């Protein structure tokens, strides 16, 4: 645990105020693992048998409708009941299911979708939803991870948007390999994903050391694990608005906003009584400076409201999932969502 202190970065940045200044707009950015948002249609190119009406989970249109209603209820609850301005999602079968979610439940937001089919044969991909009234779409790409085992993993989704003041924000949505065969045994896969992400981030930094980058995802690793801390180089982040003068923020750096809550023992997923903070938001140093779009100090949050938590029993307080194994529970997701606010000057 000594490396927690070695790599602890205390940043007293003038942009990190606890409240947004007057005459500014605040952008609410979120991420959520939706826990197997599948349609009920058999796709011959995907291993989706589990989520068909005759599959082991007996996945029906009624259960799908309930799932989407639950997800939309939570998303609409965020950002003071206005829903996020942009948010990344993972574990979606296809873009069409996200289109249904958006068109049915978010008629008051001009949401658009960025999506790319990944080589994961289970059909769980990364997606991104943004408000076209807040952002101008510039580009999207996806970066595949080298196949290191019998099953390929999800691609990293990259989206570039432009804000009202003309600034570019570069987003990366991630869903790294799980710990199914053990944390240490599967770590090499997440390190490989981190290498791919680091390569693309460095390419951006080579052009602009203060580029505004927001990395989000279910990393299946903690903020202090090797793939995130060492390979990607996302330093633990704290800010203190009481001492924020004359601080120089170096370019070409990544800061992990989730560290403070991780240090408090909080998490987004619980397994056998242990909490893990696998769902994180990481930003570049360009979002810590005072100029233009910047991070609002200590606004990183875990959405663990009673709305999405199990309310009783041995799992009380943990995410209320759609399934427990193959038993239908009718919940939301086995992950809590995370979010952060940014000041648009």
d(CA 74, CA 72): 5
Closest CA to 221 of 277, 180, 181, 261: 277
Question: What residues make up the domain containing 113?
Answer: 2-344
pLDDT tens digits, one per residue of 265-281: 999 999 888 999 999 99
Locate 178 and state its tokens. 């799980």
**Residue 216 contacts residue 280 (beta carbons within 8 Å):** yes
pTM of model > 0.85: yes
Residue ranges in the chain whose pLDDT is less than 50: 1-15, 243, 245-246
| pLDDT on residue 171 | 98
Count, residues in the chain: 345
d(CA 321, CA 338): 16
**Residue 212 contacts residue 285 (beta carbons within 8 Å):** no
What is the tally of structural domains in the chain? Answer: 1
- The full DSSP string for 12-68 is --TT--SSPPTT-EEEEEEEEEEEEE--SS--TTS--GGGSTTSTT---HHHHHHHH
| pLDDT on residue 148 | 77
| pLDDT on residue 45 | 84
Kindly report the CATH number assigned to the domain that includes residue 76.
3.60.10.10
Neighbours of 81 (CB within 10 A): 7
| pLDDT on residue 46 | 87
| pLDDT on residue 123 | 76
Closest CA to 173 of 210, 125, 220: 125
Q: Which residues are CB-contacts of 46 (< 8 A; sequence separation ≥ 6)?
A: 93, 121, 122, 123
| pLDDT on residue 344 | 87
Q: How far is CA 154 from the centre of its chain?
A: 14
d(CA 101, CA 265): 33
pLDDT tens digits, one per residue of 227-236: 999 999 999 9
**Residue 141 contacts residue 172 (beta carbons within 8 Å):** no
| pLDDT on residue 81 | 95
Locate 87 and state its tokens. 């948010």
| pLDDT on residue 239 | 79
Name the H helices within the chain: 2-6, 61-81, 95-105, 183-207, 226, 259-263
d(CA 281, CA 255): 9
| pLDDT on residue 22 | 58
């Amino acid at each position: 645990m000594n490396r927690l202190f070695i790599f602890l970065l205390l940043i007293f940045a003038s942009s990190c105020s606890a409240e947004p200044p007057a005459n500014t707009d605040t952008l609410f950015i979120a991420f959520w693992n939706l826990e197997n948002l599948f349609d009920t249609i058999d796709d011959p190119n995907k291993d989706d048998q589990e989520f068909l009406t005759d599959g082991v989970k007996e996945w029906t249109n009624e259960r799908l409708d309930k799932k989407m209603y639950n997800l939309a209820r939570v998303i609409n609850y965020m950002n003071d009941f206005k829903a996020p301005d942009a948010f990344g999602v993972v574990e979606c079968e296809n873009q069409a299911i996200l289109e249904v979610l958006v068109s049915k439940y978010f008629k008051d937001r001009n949401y658009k979708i960025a999506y790319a089919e990944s080589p994961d044969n289970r059909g769980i991909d990364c997606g991104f939803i943004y408000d076209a009234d807040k952002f101008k779409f510039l580009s999207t790409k996806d970066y595949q991870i080298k196949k290191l085992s019998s099953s390929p993993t999800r691609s990293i989704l990259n989206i570039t948007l432009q804000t009202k003041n003309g600034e570019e924000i570069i987003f990366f949505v991630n869903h790294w390999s799980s710990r199914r065969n053990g944390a240490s045994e599967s770590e090499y896969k997440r390190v490989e994903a981190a290498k791919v992400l680091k390569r693309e981030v460095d390419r951006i930094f080579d052009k602009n050391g203060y580029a505004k980058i927001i990395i989000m995802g279910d990393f299946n690793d903690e903020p202090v694990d090797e793939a995130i801390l060492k390979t990607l180089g996302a330093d633990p982040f704290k800010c203190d608005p009481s001492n924020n003068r004359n601080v120089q923020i170096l370019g070409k750096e990544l800061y992990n906003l989730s560290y403070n809550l991780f240090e408090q023992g909080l998490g987004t997923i619980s397994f056998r009584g242990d909490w893990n903070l696998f769902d994180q938001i990481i930003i570049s140093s360009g979002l810590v400076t005072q100029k233009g779009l910047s991070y609002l100090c200590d606004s990183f949050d875990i959405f663990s409201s009673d709305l999405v938590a199990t309310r009783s029993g041995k799992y009380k307080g943990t995410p209320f999932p759609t399934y427990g194994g193959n038993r239908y529970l009718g919940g939301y997701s086995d992950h809590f969502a995370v979010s952060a606010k940014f000041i648009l000057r």
